[in-house]
């Protein structure tokens, strides 16, 4: 389907990855270093697009105006670590073994014939673009429900809340998160790839499209895709509402807009919100909001402590919004106690609240 892509990966693998692995004496530890080469190419393209195109847009038409980007800076570090380090590692240690375990490729090159979607609809083998489109619909649908589970299950929210704790959501925010959460996501999405029989190269492009759109949807800009296309695709205005601070007058308002690339799932399942002005982002719970005052290692450790406290308590398995006590055990959240402890969510550090540009 994408003949140029394998050629690019092979060339980068031959002239860059293999010589580096050989120099580091690590070649024997990698079954197929093409997986690393592919992940690194995707990472370089993403960083180039974010830095050269998306980041300048935030200066031209910001949804929120900040006196400085103090809280947002660490997310750039998260992005570089995730894209150039952990994503290749996850791909090699999680996704590749899952595909090998299933013995697949969706094209049916294995001895047992086509698997997944092609086994059900073999005629799709002659329509690669249609096949890729169907794969993406299923991929995005899987992500939507996984994302809802990240908010629905307290033990998973304990990890995912690190991503939502950011008060200054920007184009670098997509890869801010718990690395345990990232591992769980890799297993879920990798399992999806095995189930539907996606070829490794196609799966890499599925991930690339999803990651790139998510980088843009986290961007601090005040415009979207317009009244027509916002009903199909997730844009920055749509996703910013997903990251909004809890409104105590409407405590369920923030449980919305879970889509990754397509907003149609939110509309179909009643979780879509439109027509609202930009709102400050972050989390009221002081045990989560404190992530903004921590470095990367302390943020990861805090998320793990929340996760561990939730995993071994009954409250951690009862679906619904929760806060975390000083012992890291979750409790049902009415959003009033965290608000009192937090003060004003966007001014907990004593700085003036952000200026939100009207829609």
Q: Give per-residue pLDDT as tens, 20-54.
A: 878 877 666 665 777 778 778 888 888 999 999 99
* pLDDT per residue as tens digits for the range 308-327: 999 999 999 999 999 999 99
- Nearest Cα neighbor of 210 from 189, 231, 180, 188 is 189
User: What span, in angstroms and rounded, lies between the C-alpha atoms of 317 and 334?
Assistant: 17
Q: How many helices (H) and strands (E) does the chain have?
A: 18, 4
| pLDDT at site 36 | 77
Q: How confident is the model at residue 94 (pLDDT cuts 50, 70, 90)?
A: low
| Confidence (pLDDT) at 338 | 41
In this structure, the number of other CB atoms found within 10 A of the CB of residue 38 comes to: 28
Average pLDDT of the segment spanning 90-114: 55
- What average pLDDT does the chain have? 83
State the pLDDT at residue 267.
Answer: 95
Residue 103, pLDDT > 80, answer: no
Report the C-alpha gap between 322 and 223 in whole angstroms.
32
Residue 205 has pLDDT above 60, yes or no: yes
Mean pLDDT, to the nearest integer, of 295-309? 97
Instruction: Decide: 103 and 116 in contact? Cβ < 8 Å.
Output: no
CA 282 to chain centre: 16
SS3 38: helix
DSSP bridge partners of 326: none
| pLDDT tens column, 262-284 | 999 999 999 999 988 888 999 99
CA atoms within 13 A on the CB side of 276: 18
| Mean of pLDDT values over 121-126 | 86
Cα 78 to Cα 201, 295, 297, distances in angstroms: 25, 11, 11
pTM over 0.85: no
Alpha carbons 245 and 203: distance in angstroms, whole number = 34
Mean pLDDT of 113-140: 86
Contact present, 261 and 222 (Cβ < 8 Å):
no
More confident residue, 246 or 155: 155
Tokens read off for 114 = 């086509």
Q: Assign 107 a pLDDT band (cuts: 50, 70, 90).
A: very low
Residue pair 185/63 in contact (Cβ under 8 Å)? The answer is: no
Instruction: State the pLDDT confidence band at 19, using cuts at 50, 70 and 90.
Output: confident
Supply 98's token pair.
């899952």
More confident residue, 242 or 118: 242
Per-residue model confidence (pLDDT) at position 111? 46
pLDDT for res 208: 82
Question: What pLDDT is stored for residue 183 in this prediction?
Answer: 86
Residue 306: pLDDT above 90?
A: yes
> Residue 154's pLDDT band (boundaries 50, 70, 90)?
very high
Which of 57-66, 178-187, 265-274: highest mean pLDDT?
265-274
**Confidence tier at 112 by pLDDT (50, 70, 90):** low
Radius of gyration in angstroms for the set of CA atoms belonging to the chain, rounded to a whole number: 21
Q: pLDDT higher for 321 or 85?
A: 321
What is the rounded distance in angstroms from the CA atom of residue 205 to the CA atom of residue 91? 13
pLDDT for 104 beyond 60: no
Nearest to 301 by CA among 73, 244, 333, 309: 309
Residue 350 phi/psi, 5-degree rounding, is 95, -5
Q: Is the pLDDT of residue 356 over 50?
A: no
């Amino acid at each position: 389907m994408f003949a140029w892509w394998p050629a690019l990966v092979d060339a980068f693998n031959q002239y860059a990855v293999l010589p580096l692995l050989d120099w580091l004496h690590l070649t024997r530890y990698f079954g197929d270093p093409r997986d690393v080469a592919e992940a690194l190419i995707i990472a370089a393209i993403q960083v180039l697009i974010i830095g050269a195109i998306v980041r300048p847009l935030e200066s031209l038409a910001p949804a929120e105006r900040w006196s400085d980007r103090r809280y947002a800076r660490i997310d750039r570090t998260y992005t570089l670590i995730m894209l150039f380090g952990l994503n290749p590692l996850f791909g090699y240690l999680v996704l590749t073994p899952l595909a090998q375990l299933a013995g697949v490729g969706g094209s049916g090159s294995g001895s047992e014939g086509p698997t997944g979607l092609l086994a059900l609809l073999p005629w799709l083998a002659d329509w690669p673009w249609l096949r890729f489109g169907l794969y993406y619909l299923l991929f995005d649908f899987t992500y939507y429900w996984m994302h809802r589970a990240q908010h629905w299950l307290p033990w998973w929210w304990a990890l995912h809340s690190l991503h939502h704790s950011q008060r200054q959501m920007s184009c670098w925010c997509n890869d801010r998160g718990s690395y345990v959460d990232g591992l769980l996501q890799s297993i879920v999405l990798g399992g999806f790839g095995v189930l539907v029989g996606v070829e490794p190269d196609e799966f890499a492009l599925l991930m690339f499209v999803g990651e790139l759109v998510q980088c843009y949807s986290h961007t601090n800009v005040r415009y979207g895709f317009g009244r027509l296309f916002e009903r199909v695709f997730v844009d920055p205005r749509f996703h910013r509402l997903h990251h909004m601070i809890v409104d105590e007058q409407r405590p369920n308002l923030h449980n919305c807009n879970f889509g990754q690339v397509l907003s149609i799932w939110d509309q179909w399942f009643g979780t879509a919100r439109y027509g609202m002005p930009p709102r400050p982002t972050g989390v009221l719970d002081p045990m989560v909001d404190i992530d903004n005052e921590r470095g990367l290692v302390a943020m990861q450790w805090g998320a793990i402590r929340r996760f561990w406290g939730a995993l071994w308590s009954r409250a951690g398995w009862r679906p619904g919004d929760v806060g975390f006590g000083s012992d890291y055990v979750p409790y049902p959240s009415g959003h009033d106690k965290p608000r009192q402890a937090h003060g004003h969510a966007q001014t907990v550090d004593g700085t003036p609240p952000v200026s939100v540009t009207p829609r």
